Amino acid sequence: MERDKPRYLEFINIAVELASSIPPYSSKYSRKDFTQQQLLALYVLKQKSKMSYDDFRTRDSAMLELRENV
């Protein structure tokens, strides 16, 4: 899995670059937790990994917890 990390990072960078034409927020009242580019990149990554939403969230929260402990 460690070997796939750079490939996924490159994939995310390409997705964010392609989404740069989208406005950062859909409304001035948006929560502003994530930009539209970030949300699109996460969605595309979820689709590419062929995971369910719950599995993706679990993996995402595990990665965040790992990152905070390093």
Question: What angle do helix axes 5-18 and 36-49 make, rounded to 10 degrees?
Answer: 140
pLDDT of 70 higher than 50: no
Q: What is the pLDDT of residues 18-51, one digit of tens each?
A: 888 889 899 999 888 888 887 887 788 788 888 8
**pLDDT (0 to 100) of residue 41:** 78
Spell out the residues 6+ positions from residue 42 whose beta carbon is closer than 8 angstroms to its own.
34, 60
Domain ranges of the chain: 2-69
